[in-house]
Structure 1
Amino acid sequence: MKDSDLSSLIRLNIGGKKFFTTIDTLTRREPDSMLAAMFSGRHTVRQDAEKGYVFVDRDELIREAEYYQLLGLIEGITSVLNKRKEEEDSCAELTRTDIIKCIQSERVRFRGVNLSGLDLSKLDLSFVDFSFACLKNVFFSRANLQCAKFRDVDAEGSIFHNATLRECEFTGANLRGALLAGANLQSANLQDACLIACSFCGADLRSAHLQSADLTDANLEGANLEGANLKGAKLSNANLKGANLQRAYLRHVNLRDTHLEGAKLDGANLLGAIR
C-alpha cells in the first residue's frame, strides 16, 4: 500500500451506525488491532457497491474494543467504569441508625444520597439539606423538617403525614403521589414542583409558594391555602372542596376543571382566572 493511501477516507458501517475515518487512523494508531490488519492491504475488504461502506456486523462499545483489540480504547473504558464503581460504592445506602447518628452533628447534609424506603418518621431533621437526593417512598411521618431543603429531590410516593415542613424548600421537587395530609407547610416553597396526585387533605399551606406547581389530580380538600401564591399552577381535576383560599393569588389560573365546592375565596385574587 502506498503512503498516499494511508490518509484516504474510509467509510464504516458498524452494526448499522455509519462512521467516517482514514486508513491512517485504523492502521497506525492501533497497529496491533484487528481493524489495522483488515485495512493493511493484506486482506480483501468487501464494500457496499452502491454506497461504498465497509459493513462490520458488531455492536456495544466495550465488546467492540476487545474484539478489534483496540487496547487504548479498552484502557479508557475500563478507567471510566472503575471510577464510576468507586463513586457508587462511596454512596452506599444509609440506615435509620446512620441517619440518627448524623443528625447529632451540625449542618447535616444528605445531598444526592439515596435514602429510598427508609423510615425517618418522628426524627428531628430540621434544617437538613436533602437537595438532589432520592427519597422515594421514605416515611417522614410526624418528623420535624422545618427549614429543610428538598430542592430537586425525587420523593415520589413519600409519606409526610402530619410532618412539620414550615419554610421548607421543595423547588423543582418530584412529589408525585406523596402523602402530605395534615402537614404544616406554612411559607414552604413548592415552586415548579411536581405535585401530581398528592394528598394535602387538611394541610396547612398558608402563605405557601406554589407558583407553576403541577397540582393535577391533587387532593387539597379542607387544606388551608390562605395567602398562598398559585400563580401559573396547574389545578386540573384538583380537589379543593372546603379549602380556605382567602387572599390566595389565583390570577389567570385555570379553575375550570377544579372542584371548589364549599371553598372560601374571600379576598382571593381571581383576576383573569378561568372558571
Structure 2
Amino acid sequence: MAYDSESSSSTVRLNIGGRKFCTTLDTLTQREPDSMLAAMFSGRHTICQESEKGHIFVDRDGKHFHHILNWLRDGVIPPLKDSEYAQLLREAEYYQLLGLVDGIKSALSKRKEDEELGTELTRIDIIKCIQSERVRFRGINLSGLDLSKLDLSFVDFSYACLKTVFFSRANLQCAKFRDVDAEASIFHNATLRECEFTGANLRGAVLAGANLQSANLQDACLIGCSFCGADLRSAHLQTADLTNANLEGANLEGANLKGAKLTNANLKGANLQRAYLRHVNLRDTHLEGAKLDGANLLGAIR
C-alpha cells in the first residue's frame, strides 16, 4: 500500500527487527524531511505491511529505535553511554537522519572535552563551580576527590566516574547520580534525600548514617554496600542488587524492594514496617530483630 502524504496525522505501526512501535506520519516526515524514513512515507512509495495488525517491517535492530522516534518528536539528543551512542549513530546513519548524526557527534565531542577537563579538577575547582546557578558534572572523571562537607545539592553527576570519592557529610539533596560509577565511594552521614541513583554502580560504597529518604536506587548495583543506620524511608530499591549489603539498623519504613536481590544481606534490627517485599526472596537474608509490621510480604520466600 502507499501512504497518503496529506494524511500526516494518521497512525503508523512499525515492526523494527521484531520490536513494535506506533507513531504518526508527522513524526516520521517533518523534522528530517530528507531522511530514508521520510521518503518511505512520502506517499511516493508502495510499502508492504504485515498481515497481523498492519505493522510495517524494517529489518534493523530495534533496540534504539525509541530514541530515534523521540528525536523526531522533540529534537533532543538522549544522554547515553559512549557504546550506546555508537550503536545509535549507526542506526541514525542508516536512516539518513543527518540532524541526529550531527547531534550525537557533538554530544560525544562535548563529553570528551569534559573528561579531559575532569582529569585536572581539584576540590577548589569544584567549590568554584558550585557557586554558579546550575552545576553539571555529567560524564566527568572525579575519581579520588575529597568533596566532603560541600553543598552539592541539585548537582547533576550522571554518567560520571566517582570511584573512591569522599562525599562524607556533604549535602547532596536532589543530586543526580544516574548510571555513575561510584564504586567504593564514601557517603558517610551525607544528605541524599530524593537523589537519583538509577542504574548506578555503588559496589562497596559506604552510606552508613546517610539520609536517603525517597531516594531512587532502582536497578543500582549495591553489592557489599554499608547502609548501617541509614535512613531509607520510602526509598525506591526495585530490582536493586543488595547482595552482601549491610543494612543493620537501617530505617526502610515504606521502602519499595520489589524484585531486589537480598542474598546474604544483613537486615538485623532494620525497620521494614510497611515496606513492599512482595515475592522477594528472603531465604538467605538476616532478619533477626527486624520490624516487619505492616510489610507487604505476599509471595515472599522465607
TM-score normalised per structure 1: 0.68
Structure-2 residue corresponding to 1:213: 240
Distance in structure 1 (CA, Å) of the matches to 2:124 and 2:201: 26
Structure-2 residue corresponding to 1:120: 147
Flag the 1:200–1:90 CA change in 2: closer, same or farther, 3 A: closer
Q: Is the 8 A contact 1:120 1:143 kept in 2?
A: yes
- 1:96-137 Cα distance to aligned partner (Å, 9 max, x none): 000000000011000000000000000000000000000000
Structure-2 residue corresponding to 1:268: 295
Deviation at 1:85, TM superposition (A): 8.3
- 1:167-190 Cα distance to aligned partner (Å, 9 max, x none): 000000000000000000000000
Choose which of 200, 217, 227 in structure 2 pairs with 1:173: 200
Distance in structure 1 (CA, Å) of the matches to 2:158 and 2:113: 22
Tell me whether 1:248 sits opposite 2:275 in the alignment: yes
- 1:119-164 Cα distance to aligned partner (Å, 9 max, x none): 0000000000000000000000000000000000000000000000
Structure-1 residue corresponding to 2:129: 102
Flag the 1:164–1:266 CA change in 2: closer, same or farther, 3 A: same
Structure-2 residue corresponding to 1:22: none
Q: Is the 8 A contact 1:139 1:160 kept in 2?
A: yes
Structure-1 residue corresponding to 2:225: 198
Flag the 1:84–1:152 CA change in 2: closer, same or farther, 3 A: closer
Distance in structure 2 (CA, Å) of the matches to 1:192 and 1:168: 14
Structure-1 residue corresponding to 2:187: 160
Flag the 1:85–1:167 CA change in 2: closer, same or farther, 3 A: closer
Choose which of 159, 163, 170 in structure 2 pairs with 1:143: 170
Q: How many residue pairs are counted as aligned between the two chains?
A: 194
Cα-Cα RMSD: 1.8
Choose which of 219, 232, 235 in structure 1 pairs with 2:262: 235
Choose which of 143, 158, 163 in structure 2 pairs with 1:131: 158
Query: What SS does structure 2 have at the residue aligned with 1:101?
Result: helix
Distance in structure 1 (CA, Å) of the matches to 2:114 and 2:214: 36
Please, which runs of 5 or more residues in structure 2 have no aligned partner?
1-109
Q: Is the 8 A contact 1:93 1:114 kept in 2?
A: no
Choose which of 212, 217, 225 in structure 1 pairs with 2:252: 225
- 1:11-43 Cα distance to aligned partner (Å, 9 max, x none): xxxxxxxxxxxxxxxxxxxxxxxxxxxxxxxxx
Please, which runs of 5 or more residues in structure 1 have no aligned partner?
1-82
Counting aligned pairs with the same residue, the percent is 92
- 1:22-76 Cα distance to aligned partner (Å, 9 max, x none): xxxxxxxxxxxxxxxxxxxxxxxxxxxxxxxxxxxxxxxxxxxxxxxxxxxxxxx
Q: Is the 8 A contact 2:247 2:265 kept in 1?
A: yes
Flag the 1:85–1:214 CA change in 2: closer, same or farther, 3 A: closer
Flag the 1:210–1:89 CA change in 2: closer, same or farther, 3 A: closer
Point out 4+ residue stretches in structure 1 off by more than 6 angstroms. Answer: 83-87
TM-score normalised per structure 2: 0.62
Q: Is the 8 A contact 2:144 2:162 kept in 1?
A: yes
Distance in structure 2 (CA, Å) of the matches to 1:138 and 1:84: 20
Flag the 1:88–1:166 CA change in 2: closer, same or farther, 3 A: closer
